Amino acid sequence: MFNLILFGPPGSGKGTQSERLVEKYGGVHLSTGNLLRAEIAQKTPLGLEAKSFIDKGQLVPDEVVIGMVDSYFDLHKDARGFLFDGFPRTVAQAKALDRLLELKKTAISSVLALEVNEEELVKRLLNRGKTSGRSDDTDESVIRKRFSVYTDETSPVAEHYRKARKFHPIEGVGSVDAIFDRLCEAIEKQLKKESGH
């Protein structure tokens, strides 16, 4: 079972690249951002709670996100592997993910971290905001808030996986195709390592 995490700040291209990676390598794409937006669209109690945090550029509470991921696992019991996109975003989420995967007798193979500078990220998100209708992409102060939350709460997750020797930085600036090639190269390397070649 090959489980991959695509890591990086808001707007670094996790969603963009995840779709291509799942198309090429298979596995189940688990984007907590997409799951939360689906709950919001359906106006579920979980969605209504999540919206109040997302609109302000804050993270949705850990217990809500972890419960949602746990239910998603139950729906995909036969998955051959997962591509985690936008999850884990806190150290508590990373530890919960370790435990959930352990129950499935598996683990994270690799964490690929897209590195993009803040000015480029703001540009991309404001640009997406023009067409996406996403409340968290239209206001620059909310976008800046998301970056400060990333620095304070999400970047320590990198250390969690660095200690486990699973963390691999990837240059995230350039064309979507060029970045996809870099990610594929890192994945091929890991697959070779896991198959013992």
CB 69 within 8 A of CB 121: no
Half-sphere exposure of 143 (CA within 13 A, CB side): 20
- Work out which of 54, 83, 112, 187 binds ligand B4P, going by CB under 6 A: 54
Query: Can residue 145 be called a binding residue for ligand B4P (CB under 6 A)?
Result: no
Query: Can residue 48 be called a binding residue for ligand B4P (CB under 6 A)?
Result: no
Query: Can residue 176 be called a binding residue for ligand B4P (CB under 6 A)?
Result: yes
Q: Which residue has the tokens 């884990």?
A: 88
Query: Can residue 47 be called a binding residue for ligand B4P (CB under 6 A)?
Result: no
| Shortest distance in whole angstroms from residue 114 CB to ligand B4P | 7
Query: Can residue 113 be called a binding residue for ligand B4P (CB under 6 A)?
Result: no
The span from the CA of 58 to the CA of 55, in Å, is 8
Size of the site for ligand B4P (CB under 6 A): 27
Per CB under 6 A, the segment of 4-12, 22-30, 41-49, 189-197 that binds ligand B4P is 4-12
Q: In this structure, what token pair is assigned to residue 170?
A: 């990837």
| Shortest distance in whole angstroms from residue 194 CB to ligand B4P | 26
DSSP letters, 20-76, are HHHHHH-SEEEEHHHHHHHHHHTT-HHHHHHHHHHTTTPPPPHHHHHHHHHHHHHHT
Query: Can residue 39 be called a binding residue for ligand B4P (CB under 6 A)?
Result: no
H helices within the chain, ranges in order?
14-25, 32-41, 45-54, 62-75, 91-103, 118-132, 140-149, 155-163, 176-194
Query: Can residue 14 be called a binding residue for ligand B4P (CB under 6 A)?
Result: yes
Point out which residues bind ligand B4P (CB under 6 A): 8, 10-16, 32-33, 36, 53-54, 59-60, 65, 86-87, 89, 93, 124, 127-128, 136, 146, 176, 179
